[in-house]
Amino acid sequence: MNELQWVDYLRCKAKSFKGLLVGIGDDCALARVGREKLLLKSDIFVEGVHFKLKSISFKSIGKRAVARVFSDLAACCGAPKFIGVSAGIPSYIKEKDLKQILEGILFMCKKYNASLVGGDTSRSEKLILDIWAVGQTPKCILRSTAKTGDYIFLTGELGKRAFNKPFEPRIAEAKELIKKFKVNSMIDISDGFVIDLYRILKASKKGAAVLKDNVPVTKGISDFYRGEDYELIFTIDKSEKKLSSLKKKYHFVGKVKPKTFGFKWENKGRFEKIKVEGFTHF
């Protein structure tokens, strides 16, 4: 099984209990606890897979590990409330390094009004950070609710991470979008524009026509399969009357089609099948 098939397998095997509104397969789980609806998310950050010690500071490791989780909350139009951190710590990580990682974690907590509430530690061969988060949302937006005729948008350019630029989870943008526009579905780009848009289409049982020339890319970077951009892909209802103001701030890149249409690039009325690839762990 590849990674996408493994997620499908888990979804079939995991039982749903009372209070679980959204389970495995979206950016976050959504659960009802009393009158509250809570977003639940975890994300693992592994040395040698997600980062190399020679190319990133220890403070940035802490910041980036947390930002990845917050980006998933943003994809569901949520904001963080609590986080926990479990760390696998190898012998070559010194006390001063750990303090720098913690400084990065606490920096993100302060910036986004979240509290660090616990976690665990273990000896390991490589540095591993596993972050879990609890968040809240006024309206949870899922991958599975795109509609035929929806307009597909991006919050920003692809390729910035290729130059190791820091990123900010698009929490404020998501909050603004659901307040002002009819957002039907959303996802953050962690594994590549193509594969993450495909995840929306697969979950929603839809196809899409993507305007390749409209997809914004950083100068010198045109890789639509590159991961870790952490921009949001979102779809807007075809009845939305404020599209002109939306297009001034965000990037219109295509339309949602019926599933029978498939997943295709569109260029001057001609269509080409999109090869579904992106970063996967196995």
162: domain CATH number?
3.90.650.10
What mean pLDDT, rounded, does the chain reach?
Answer: 92
Residues 6 or more apart in contact with residue 214 via CB below 8 angstroms: 251, 252, 253, 254
Last residue of a domain, one of 136, 171, 200: 136
pLDDT one-digit tens code per residue, 220-232: 677 898 888 999 9
Same domain, residue pair 107 and 180: no
Cα-based torsion angle of the residue sequence 241, 247, 249, 253 in order, rounded to the nearest 10 degrees: 130
Cα–Cα distance, 159 to 228 (Å, whole number): 9
CA dihedral 60, 28, 278, 270 (to 10 degrees): -130
pLDDT exceeds 80 at position 91: yes
Question: Which pLDDT tens digit goes with each residue over 15-61?
Answer: 667 778 887 888 898 998 888 889 999 999 999 999 999 989 999 99
- The answer as to whether 5 is a domain residue is no
What is the model's pLDDT at position 228? 86
| Within a domain: 36 | yes
Task: Please state, in angstroms and rounded to a whole number, the distance separating the CA atoms of residues 141 and 113.
Answer: 21
pLDDT confidence of residue 3: 67
Average pLDDT, integer, range 174-182:
96
Tokens of 20: 């679980």
**Residue 160: predicted pLDDT:** 81
**pLDDT recorded at residue 121:** 95
Is 184 in the same domain as 207? yes
Same domain, 123 and 221: no
pLDDT of residue 281 exceeding 60, the answer is: no
What pLDDT, on the 0 to 100 scale, is given for residue 227? Answer: 84
Contact 136, 37 (CB under 8 A): yes
Same domain for 123 and 20, yes or no, is: yes
Q: Does 22 reside within a domain?
A: yes
In this model, does residue 282 exceed pLDDT 60? no
Instruction: Give pLDDT tens digits for 128-163.
Output: 999 999 999 989 999 999 999 999 999 999 988 766
> Do 87 and 170 sit in the same domain of this protein?
no
Number of structural domains (the chain) is: 2
Tokens linked to 209: 């026509």
What span, in angstroms and rounded, lies between the C-alpha atoms of 131 and 66?
A: 7
H-type alpha helices, 205-263? 243-249
Kindly state the tokens that stand for 115.
Answer: 């509290």
- pTM of the entire structure? 0.91
User: Do 155 and 265 sit in the same domain of this protein?
Assistant: yes
Q: 279 in helix, strand or coil?
A: coil
DSSP state of 270: E
- Indicate whether 199 pLDDT > 70: yes
In this structure, what token pair is assigned to residue 179? 């307040």
Confidence of residue 279 (pLDDT cuts 50, 70, 90): low
Residues 167 and 234 reside in one and the same domain: yes
Same domain, yes or no: 121 and 209: no
- 49 shares its domain with 114: yes
Q: Across residues 5-23, what is the average pLDDT? A: 75
Same-domain check for residues 181 and 243: yes
Query: Which of 198-202, 261-265, 276-280 has the least mean pLDDT?
Result: 276-280
Can you give the residue range of the structural domain that contains 35? Answer: 15-136
Q: Are residues 268 and 159 in the same domain?
A: yes
Q: Does 233 share its domain with 183?
A: yes
pLDDT of residue 8: 76
